[in-house]
Structure 1
Amino acid sequence: MDSMDAHIAEKPGYELAQVNISRLRFPLDSPELKDFVDGLDPVNAVADAADGFVWRLQADSGNATDVAVFGDAWLIVNMSVWRDADALTTFMYAGRHRELMARRREWFAKVEESMTALWWVPAGDRPSVGDAEKRLLHLREHGPTERAFTLRTRFPAPAATEAAGEAATN
């Protein structure tokens, strides 16, 4: 077994990465965002326990509201990795997350460009904010492709034998 085969054997398959950025309408510490901020820990706890959840970006605060994205202080980022799109959508459209999503227009500005992107990562890899920014920019420029796509226009995970090559090109 050569080193490439060993790499594939250690990290078989792919997991689904997602990024979602939002433009705040008010500062995070404002009264207008109190319900949103108060809901973060409970929603994150549900995500962490969800079937198919793998990982989420977080700072020392336990969430990612203070992680910079695109150099814009009014943008907040949510990034996570899931087993697959079904696990992600099951979490997104149920329970506490759905309750918060129903109020998103109160807290976040409407933006015309893509603010959410999905892509496959080799199992065990954790994307950076820089990776997420590149995927969002790719989606905005090219529309959904295998490199960056949406829940509405999905692409299947690459074959497991492609894992080593994909990791080398990211």
Structure 2
Amino acid sequence: MPLAEFNRGILLHDWDDPRVAPFVNALAQVNLIAQRTPGFVWRLDDAAMERAQTDPASALGPDPRLASTLSVWTDAPALHHFVFRTLHRAFYVRGHEWFVAETAPRVVMWFVPEGHRPTPDEAADRYARLCRDGEGAEAFGWAWLRAEGHLMEAAE
């Protein structure tokens, strides 16, 4: 069953600050790798995501330092491979250099019907549900996927 994922973080500095440049400058390459990774289905394009992050009427906005991605994958192992076995991992492990330390989850996942493309509002709702209720079938993270048998490999 297809898996939607929404990840988010608040940058420590503005997007044009040199201190976040290694992250910002790698986005296009990492997104291209995602799109070429087996199991990738869809990603909300950059312009639509930026509008959702900066629009005061959006469930995600407005936060000019929010960096997020909304995508769909064929299954959990495909997403896991991209996150932990491609160039993405090098940036994932350096996240503390560019993002505000938060106690809230950085990623929420949920299963979607074939062909469904989640909206930013849907992602914000799933994220809020995970933060409010914890992991369950409607909103979850890597630990829930492993516990439910959707992912045999441990998350890094």
CA deviations over 1:44-66 (Å, ceiling 9, x no partner): 11100001000011134xx9456
The structure 2 residue matched to 1:94, chosen from 85, 91, 111, is 85
- Cα root mean square deviation, aligned: 1.8
Contact in 2 for aligned 1:70/1:133 (Cα 8 Å): no
**Which of 1 and 2 has greater Rg?**
1
Percent sequence identity over aligned pairs: 32
For residues 35 and 93 of structure 1, the distance between their equivalents in structure 2, rounded to whole angstroms, comes to 19
Aligned with residue 140 of structure 1, among 131, 137, 144: 131
1:67 CA drift (Å): 3.9
Letter in 2 for 1:151: W
For normalisation by structure 2, the TM-score amounts to 0.84
Q: Distance in 2 between matches of 1:67 and 1:100?
A: 23
Choose from 23, 27, 30 the match for 1:40.
27
Correspondence for 1:55: 42
Relative to structure 1, is the Cα distance of residues 134 and 73 closer, same or farther in structure 2, using a 3 angstrom cutoff? same
- Give the alignment partner of residue 152 of structure 1, picking from 120, 143, 150: 143
Distance, in Å, in 2 between the alignment partners of 1:52 and 1:77 is 20
Q: TM-score, normalised by structure 1?
A: 0.78
Q: Secondary structure at the match of 2:111?
A: strand
Please tell me whether the aligned partners of residues 23 and 74 of structure 1 are also in contact (alpha carbons under 8 angstroms). Answer: yes
Shift, 1:72, TM fit? 2.2
Question: Contact conserved, 1:43 with 1:97, CA < 8 A, in 2?
Answer: yes
Aligned to 2:112: 121
Residue identity in the other structure for 1:15: P
- Code of the aligned partner of 1:31: P
Q: Provide Cα deviations, 1:73-124, integer angstroms capped at 9, x if missing partner.
A: 2222111100111000011012310111121111001101123100011110
Q: Provide the C-alpha distance between the structure 1 equivalents of 2:149 and 2:3, rounded to a whole number of angstroms.
A: 10
Q: Is the 8 A contact 1:66 1:76 kept in 2?
A: no
Structure 2: stretches of 5+ with no match in the other structure: 54-59, 151-156
- The number of aligned residues is 142
Structure 1 unmatched ranges of 5 or more: 1-13, 158-170
* 1:59–1:67 CA contact under 8 A, matched in 2: no
CA-CA distance at 1:146 after TM superposition = 0.7
Q: Decide whether the 8 Å contact of 2:129 with 2:139 is kept in 1.
A: yes
After superposition, residues 63-74 of structure 1 pair within 5 angstroms as 64=49, 67-68=52-53, 69-74=60-65
